[in-house]
Structure formats: structure tokens, C-alpha cells
Amino acid sequence: MEETSRLRGICLSGTLLLVASLLLQAAERFSLPPETAGFKAGPGVELATSQCLLCHSADYVSTQPRLSRAAWKASVLKMKDKYGAPLPDEKVDALVDYLVKTYGAEMPK
């Protein structure tokens, strides 16, 4: 009985290793297409590029409604505080300024 349990454990371990190996091989073949969108030019575009593109595309930002300064600030702080975006505190206002003037309510009409 004990031998049977031991053999089952060995078979289960072997099966799990095989499945894990196959999953890893599949993951190695998966690749995303290259990013083609970029942020609009303007003061702060380098900051947006270096911070926002770490997690999502420029298309994500460009498809947002024309948010107010308060809404953009809330969004940036959510990305920083809840999702761990590595944005230094002293750069938050500069990024919000770029976003609101380039994609938000303060964007020229």
C-alpha cells in the first residue's frame, strides 16, 4: 500500500514536471508585436514615455476621454500607489501637466 502511494507520488511529480516544461516552451514562443504608437510631442513627453510605456501602450492614454487635471492626477497616483509604477513623487505633477495639456481638458481645441 505504501509502495503504491509512493509510486503515485512519483508519477504525479513526473507529470507535473512534464506539463510545466511544455508550458515554459509555449511561453518562450509567445511574443508581442512591436509598439507602433507613441505619445504626442510636448513638454514632458520623455517622462510619459519612460514611465507610462512600462505597463501599457500610448494608445491606452490616447483613447481616454479628455480628463480634468484632478482626474489625471488621480489616475497617475493610482498607477503609482496601487499598481507600483516607479514614478518619483517629485515627477507626479510634471506627468499630470503633460497628460492634461496633451490628452486632457486643457488640450488646445
Report which of 10, 8, 59 is spatially closest to residue 33, judged by C-alpha positions.
Answer: 59
How many structural domains is the chain composed of?
2
Q: Kindly give, in sequence order, each residue whose CB lies less than 8 Å from that of residue 59, ignoring residues fewer than 6 positions away.
A: 37
Q: Kindly give, in sequence order, each residue whose CB lies less than 8 Å from that of residue 54, ignoring residues fewer than 6 positions away.
A: 85, 86
Residue 80's domain spans which residues? 45-102
At 9-23, the pLDDT tens digits run 888 888 888 888 877
- Stated pTM of the model: 0.67
At 63-75, the pLDDT tens digits run 989 999 999 999 9
Are 59 and 96 members of one domain?
A: yes
**C-alpha–C-alpha distance, residues 72 and 103, integer Å:** 10
The residue type at 79: M
DSSP 89: G
Query: Is 39 inside a domain boundary?
Result: no
Q: pLDDT tier at 99 (50, 70, 90 boundaries)?
A: very high
